[in-house]
Amino acid sequence: MVESRHPVQIYKYILGSHFGVFIAKKVVGIASEGPYHTGLVAYGQEFFFGSDGIKSCQPQGFKLAELIEVIDVGETDIPLEQFKQYLAQLSKSRYTSQNYSVFKNNCNHFTDDMAKFLTGQGVPKIILDQPAEVLSKPMGIVLAPVFQLIPDTIKLLRHCAHNLLPAAIKIVRQCANSMLLVFSNSYKCIK
């Protein structure tokens, strides 16, 4: 039986678009294009790691960054089910939401490990070296705690939007209905 081969690509993004580039280049002083995010594309899906753990979406479905490069890293003959088992194992050990770190265990480390597992070829060194470059700059050291908080802040905002916004809308509707009732009764009294 002949196993089919699957193309494997690394999608390289810039986080935060223009603002991320400004912070990286002008404030921190690093030479790279901006803060990198990577995802691994294989089996018709894009796999990535963040503060919510391992996720997947349609290729280019990651909307928090701007795609700037597609890097072909080869092909794999590893079946999708075997890859999913590997992902499931890693999602309980190295790549959990609790283990995410902007500098030490991020999306680029994940993509590197996945690409090496599937093809033997990893993420370009310039991407993996970016955290060390940031921490080698005085402003990078000063801002490191802020950068480390960004994923949790995004998670909190998502949680608030998902859980608190519907409650706020319900309260506003109740207030509006109460106001309409008061105005309606006032109008009846005036007549």
Catalytic residues: 37, 107
- Paired with 54 in beta bridges are 49
3-state SS class at 13: strand
Instruction: Give the position of tokens 């294989």.
Output: 42
Phi and psi torsions of 71, nearest 5°? -110, 115
For 67, other C-beta atoms within 10 Å of its C-beta total 14
| Alpha carbons 53 and 162: distance in angstroms, whole number | 18
